[in-house]
């Protein structure tokens, strides 16, 4: 390890970070993974000898002292479409804190992944990206900014949103921003740009736009996706749809939260087209076409090999949470529905638990879970549309419909979920193998009178749903 260059990786639990990590390890680097919540970070066993995990919060200067002094390179993959009204200020504060902390180390090169910001009038989200770029560029070490547009890949937010829209709507009455031009780029190309730029001196202290080989409107992207899936789709553009209506349209049709939909709509009104293809020439990268990126994405989906998904990021929900804050299930002041049943086969029961949600459903009265999902969506929640990233694997931080995985240990036979649906309180659902039987526990901590009324209103359904689900899991 002494002879390996040491790379600091922020955003190690994010969509890009999870995919970049094994590439950096394969290239012979030792990677220091920065995480806010250690409970959410579950790297493959094969990588553990080549990484170090440190806990940092970019808004907490004290925690930044955990960054080791002897690092050679760094990646800044932190950004947000936070629901906070002052997220621009917070993102800038994070950048200042990070730049200052890195100046105390031996780092020689920082790479920041940003968005294409070539228009004079930017959305709040894109202008925040630009502000962060300006701040990081003040550093005493070398900084390279890569500006990407729409990233297409299995599990990416853009891909999943396009997929939701095209596969659900044969006829679309859509807002005028669907005519906006963009230059989508495949996730494999983004990872190639990120990894090959590191320590490449010709890229130091510059910014580069990175994109695929096609310039398309969002409308053409939707129609192209339809062709790939052999789905005939008709799109009618109406100019009278306001940003608010556009956000609701995106929210109800796709798996995004409303606040994320609002941020996306505001950004989609801005053209994100590359100025040039300079970096591709420098690094000898031949970017894929939009159709080729779709082909690659579906290969991963069909083989159930999605390495990471935006849905597993906490931003896919409506809560700013740390898993460690919720992993200890409370009992005081809570309503608890606890059931147990001997299982016919332990391995079969655990396998069924690990497949719960998503395409598999909830084993019993799934139609009632779907109704609950529709109700949640009406009240601004995430609903059931997030599904799950992998059909058979679960790790802490993954989303399972409107639940978040807090703890998953298949050998132990314990799975703990936390509810992210709209509730007048907090809810946990736990499955645990103990004494040759399955313990199934639903815990609800009510918030005020409305929480107590809610519990008693749904109590009759619990006896029906939870009893049936337990029977199916243990059969």
Query: Is the domain of 184 the same as that of 216?
Result: yes
- The 10s digit of each residue's pLDDT in 225-251 is 999 989 999 988 887 777 777 777 777
Using the Cα atoms of residue 197, residue 198, residue 199 and residue 204 in order, give the sign of their dihedral.
Answer: positive
Residue 447 lies inside a defined structural domain of this protein: yes
- In the chain, the percentage of residues whose pLDDT exceeds 70 is 92
Query: Is the domain of 299 the same as that of 325?
Result: no
Name every residue whose Cβ is closer than 8 Å to that of residue 242 and which is 6 or more positions away in sequence. none
Query: Is the domain of 276 the same as that of 208?
Result: yes
In terms of Cβ atoms closer than 10 Å to its own Cβ (0-12, 13-18, 19+), residue 334 is middle
For residue 440, pLDDT over 70 is answered with: yes
Query: Is the domain of 326 the same as that of 307?
Result: no
Task: Yes or no: say if 413 and 346 are a contact pair by the CB < 8 Å rule.
Answer: yes
Pick from 11-25, 48-62, 165-179, 337-351: least confident: 165-179
Q: What is the CATH number of the domain that holds 413?
A: 3.30.530.20
* b/e burial code for range 173-201 (CB count within 10 A of at least 16 → b): ebbebbebebbbbbbbbbbbbbbbbbbee
What's the confidence (pLDDT) of residue 62? 93
Query: Is the domain of 115 the same as that of 254?
Result: yes
Of 413, 407, 384, give the one whose Cα is nearest residue 394.
Answer: 407
For residue 307, pLDDT over 70 is answered with: no
Query: Is the domain of 364 the same as that of 283?
Result: no
Last residue of a domain, one of 295, 311, 327: 311
Task: Yes or no: say if 417 and 393 are a contact pair by the CB < 8 Å rule.
Answer: no
Last residue of a domain, one of 266, 289, 311: 311
- The 10s digit of each residue's pLDDT in 185-227 is 999 999 999 999 999 999 999 999 999 999 999 999 999 999 9
Last residue of a domain, one of 311, 345, 368: 311
- If you average pLDDT over residues 88-111, what whole number do you get? 93
- The 10s digit of each residue's pLDDT in 119-128 is 777 777 788 8
Query: Which residues does residue 341 pair with via DSSP β-bridges, in sequence order?
Result: 438
Cα separation, 248 vs 15, in Å, equals: 25
Query: Is the domain of 301 the same as that of 321?
Result: no
Query: Is the domain of 252 the same as that of 372?
Result: no
Q: Which residue's entry shows tokens 């799975």? A: 415
Please, which pLDDT band fits residue 312 given cuts at 50, 70 and 90? low
Q: What is the CATH number of the domain that holds 120?
A: 3.40.50.720
Please, which pLDDT band fits residue 311 given cuts at 50, 70 and 90? low
Query: Is the domain of 336 the same as that of 434?
Result: yes
* Structural domain that includes position 445: 317-474
Cα separation, 178 vs 310, in Å, equals: 22
Query: Is the domain of 187 the same as that of 95?
Result: yes
Residue 460 lies inside a defined structural domain of this protein: yes
Query: Is the domain of 340 the same as that of 221?
Result: no
Query: Which residues does residue 400 pair with via DSSP β-bridges, in sequence order?
Result: 403
What's the confidence (pLDDT) of residue 251? 77
Residue 1 lies inside a defined structural domain of this protein: no
Cα separation, 169 vs 261, in Å, equals: 18
Q: How many domains does the chain have?
A: 2
Query: Is the domain of 345 the same as that of 282?
Result: no
- If you average pLDDT over residues 72-91, what whole number do you get? 78
């Amino acid at each position: 390890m002494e002879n390996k260059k040491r790379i600091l990786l922020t955003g190690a639990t994010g969509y890009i970070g999870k995919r970049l990590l094994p590439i950096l390890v394969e290239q012979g680097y030792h990677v220091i993974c920065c995480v806010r919540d250690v409970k959410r970070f579950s790297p493959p066993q094969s990588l553990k000898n080549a990484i170090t995990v440190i806990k940092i919060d970019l808004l907490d200067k004290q925690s930044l002292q955990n960054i080791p002094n002897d690092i050679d390179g760094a990646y800044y993959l932190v950004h947000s479409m936070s629901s906070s009204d002052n997220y621009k200020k917070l993102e800038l504060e994070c950048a200042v804190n990070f730049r200052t902390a890195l100046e105390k180390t031996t780092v020689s090169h920082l790479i920041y992944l940003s968005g294409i910001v070539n228009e004079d009038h930017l959305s709040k989200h894109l202008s925040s990206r630009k502000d962060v770029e300006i701040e990081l560029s003040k550093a005493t070490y070398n900084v390279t900014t890569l500006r990407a547009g729409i990233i297409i890949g299995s599990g990416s937010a853009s891909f999943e949103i396009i997929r939701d829209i095209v596969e659900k709507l044969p006829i679309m009455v859509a807002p005028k921003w669907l005519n906006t031009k963009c230059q989508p780029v495949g996730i494999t190309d983004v990872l190639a740009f990120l990894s090959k730029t590191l320590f490449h001196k010709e890229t130091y202290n510059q910014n580069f736009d990175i994109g695929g080989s096609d310039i398309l409107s969002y409308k053409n992207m939707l129609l192209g996706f339809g062709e790939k899936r052999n789905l005939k789709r008709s799109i009618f553009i109406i100019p009278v749809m306001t940003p608010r209506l556009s956000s609701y349209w995106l929210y109800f049709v796709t798996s995004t939260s409303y606040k994320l939909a609002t941020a996306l709509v505001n950004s989609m009104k801005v053209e994100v087209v590359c100025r040039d293809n300079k970096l591709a020439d420098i690094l000898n990268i031949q970017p894929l076409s939009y159709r080729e990126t779709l082909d690659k994405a579906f290969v991963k989906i069909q083989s159930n090999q999605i390495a990471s998904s935006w849905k597993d990021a906490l931003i896919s929900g409506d809560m700013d949470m740390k898993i460690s804050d919720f992993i200890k299930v409370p009992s005081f002041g809570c309503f608890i529905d606890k059931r147990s049943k001997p299982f016919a086969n332990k391995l079969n029961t655990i396998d069924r638990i690990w497949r719960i949600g998503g395409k598999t459903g909830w084993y019993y009265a799934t139609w009632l879970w779907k109704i609950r999902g529709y109700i949640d969506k009406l009240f601004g929640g995430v609903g059931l549309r997030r599904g799950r990233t992998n059909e058979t694997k679960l790790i802490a931080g993954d989303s399972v419909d409107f639940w978040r995985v807090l703890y998953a240990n298949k050998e132990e036979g314990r799975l703990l979920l936390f509810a992210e649906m709209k509730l007048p309180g907090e809810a946990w659902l736990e499955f645990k193998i103990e004494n040759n039987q399955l313990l199934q526990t639903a815990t609800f901590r009510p918030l005020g009178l409305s929480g107590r009324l809610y519990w008693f209103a749904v109590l009759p359904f619990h006896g029906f749903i939870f009893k049936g689900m337990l029977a199916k899991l243990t059969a």
